[in-house]
Structures are given as C-alpha cells and as structure tokens.
Amino acid sequence: MAEPLFLCKVGELYLKGDNRPLFEKKLVASIERAVGPARIRDHRGKLTVEGAGHDPEVLQRLERVFGIVSIELAHRVETDEDDILSTAVTLARSEASGARTFRISTRRTWKGFHLNSVDLNCLAGAAVARATGLAVDLGDPDLDVRIEVGTPHTYVYTRRIPGAGGLPVGSSGHAVLLLSGGIDSPVAGWLAMKRGLTLDAVHFHSPPHTGPAALRKVRDLTGILASWQGAVRLHVVPFTVAQEAVRDTVREDYRVLIYRRLMVRIACLLAERSRARALVTGESLAQVASQTLENMSCIEAAAALPVLRPLVTYDKIEVIQRARRLSTYEVSIRPGEDCCALFVPRHPATRGRHDVCERCEDDLDVEDLVESCAGAAVTEEISPPS
C-alpha cells in the first residue's frame, strides 16, 4: 500500500564532503523543531517526514526550514513493478483534472532494479495513458509523474513545492542582528539565517524619544524571524543616555556616525557574552547618508567582530519586494519612532574620516557608555507567532 509522506530534497549539503553529516544533523533538528511529532528518517540520503500524510499545516512549516530546496508530496511503495505502476496510475487519475498531457520521469538510484529508467517510463506511460486518456508530452506536460526507484522503497509523486533553500540554521555559527523597526534589517536577518546563521537580535530603545509602539514593532518583527529559526533572543538596549551625551558633545554632522559606532560596540559586547562571532546589519551601499563607503568604514572600525551586510548591493525596491514576501513590510511601516531618526542632523557627514570620529569620541566616556548600556540591556525570548 502506498504511504503518503513528505520527501525533502537538499541542495548545497551535497557539496559539503566530510562535513556533510554535521549539516544534515542541523537540518534534521530544524525539521523536528518545525513539524513536532512527525517522524523524520534518512533513507540513503532522502529525508522523509512521515506520520503526517500530506497535512497542509506541516507542509507550510516545512517551507520555512532552511536547507530544504524542494518538498515532494510523495507516495512510498515497495520497489515492485506492479506496485509502482498501480501507484503511478492512481496518482495520475487523482491529479488529471484539467490536464491534457503528461509524462513519466523516472530516476533509478538503485541500479539493481530489473527495469531501467527508459523501460519503466514506457510501461508506466502506457498504463497511465490507458487509464486517463491523457496524451504524452515529453517537453512541457500538464502533469509530470515522477518515479524515484530505490531499495527497498520507491517514491512516486506529481507535486513539488519549492523550499526555502540555503543552509540549515546554526550550521554557519551564531551572530547578532542589529534590528531596527525599519524595512531593511529584518530582511537582512532573514538572509543571514538562510546562510546558516543562528541570530540573536539587539534593538536600541530611547524612551521617551521612542515609545511603546516602536518596541511592539520590533517584537513583532522578531517573532516573524523566529518563525524561520525558532525562538530568538531579543536584547533591548536603553540608549537614551548615550544618545543625549552624543547630542550634547559631538559636532552635528558626525552625530549619526558616533551613534552607529557606539551601537556596534554595544552589540559586539553583547555578542561576545553570548559567544556570537559576527554582527549583521541592514546597511545597503549609498542608500542613506550614513551608508556611504567612507561612513560604513568608519562605523565598522569601531567593531571588534566582523560586520556582515547581506543587503549591501540591494536597492530599496528589491528590499521592499523581499519584505513583502516575508510579511515584515506591513509591520515595518507601522507608525513608530526610530531612535536615530529623531537625532538626524540637517547636513550629516557623507564622507566620514576615521581621525575625526576618534577626535569626536575623545570628549565622550565611550567605555563607560558602552558598558552601562550593555549592562542595562533587557533580554527577552521571542517565540514564533502561534
């Protein structure tokens, strides 16, 4: 009897050589987190999710697991000619509505089976044509019946759902995302997760200049990211004292640069305490005044860890398109003050110099500000929305 299950295909993991088992372990853990009690098994490189049939809710969760490039709504049968042919016919009949043409696509990973791929294509094709009346089209068919012959089981399916791709979360290490309430940083965080990073998030909150609405936005954005990673730790840093010190001390055109340098120092300190190895930001080259090449260099010079910028070559339209697909855009555009936007000078420096930044910081007790802000951070664990 054919058993319905999800057949999960991986992409880059096949290129990992001797490290592949470590990536596969991370992927299995991600699937287990996503689907709960369903059984996950590795059948000679094929990951199957069993016990849930083709449950749409389980499918939706699997679509958010990084490392899976496609999800097949498959039926598993014994590797027996009659079982394979009958399952192909049954599946074609159930999916034939509205179709006029079909093809059979066989992949024989077990070479011990007595029929080769061409022979099985011909036999299954003839059986399906007789049962459904559909015409064969090997180029662009309405229905593609796929058969993967293995031992002891064969998988038959017609439906392939794109997966999230990338690498399993956690397989590339641990980083901290500087998360504002804007459009860019959540997208940058998602892209970093897709490359295998586990993320914490840090948000700089400046009451009374920023209110509860801004913090709610950030918590909601963190929850959306958590739906891809699992629970995310959010560090909320009270930044008012540091901002006011910069406002009162630093020349106007360099204030944003000094704010940003303080932020990366604080984020690095929090990252080191949680053994994270990098920062992630939503910066895009030349998008705003603080993101010129010179200014990004000045900001990164203050960081004790590498600064990763997944959006560095994206334009705003591309970021918005991605944010809409992730459902972060609607949250990001809700009213809510940004802590830096409230202190932006009329004419910010666009070609910042390292020596000027250092002179500006001479009048600040940078170490004390960084330590006090990091020490006052409040950490929350944000779970995925139910």
CATH class of 173-382: alpha beta
Q: Whole-angstrom Cα distance, residue 216 to residue 230? A: 19
**Mean pLDDT throughout 176-202?**
97
- How is residue 283 written in tokens? 């910066």
Percentage of residues in the chain having pLDDT higher than 70: 96
pLDDT for residue 339? 56
Q: pTM for this one?
A: 0.91
User: Which band of pLDDT confidence, cut at 50, 70 and 90, is reported for residue 291?
Assistant: confident
Domain extent listing, the chain: 3-162, 173-382
Report pLDDT digits (tens) over 3-24: 999 999 987 776 777 788 888 8
Alpha helices by DSSP H, listed for 164-283, are: 184-194, 212-229, 240-249, 255-273
The architecture in CATH of the region 3-162 reads 2-Layer Sandwich (3.30)
Report pLDDT digits (tens) over 252-284: 999 999 999 999 999 999 999 999 999 999 999
Report pLDDT digits (tens) over 138-180: 999 999 999 999 999 999 999 999 999 999 999 999 999 999 9
DSSP conformation letters of 23-38: HHHHHHHHHHHHHTTS
Q: Whole-angstrom Cα distance, residue 285 to residue 350? A: 12
Q: Are 191 and 285 in contact (CB under 8 A)?
A: no
Report pLDDT digits (tens) over 40-71: 988 666 799 999 999 999 999 999 999 999 99
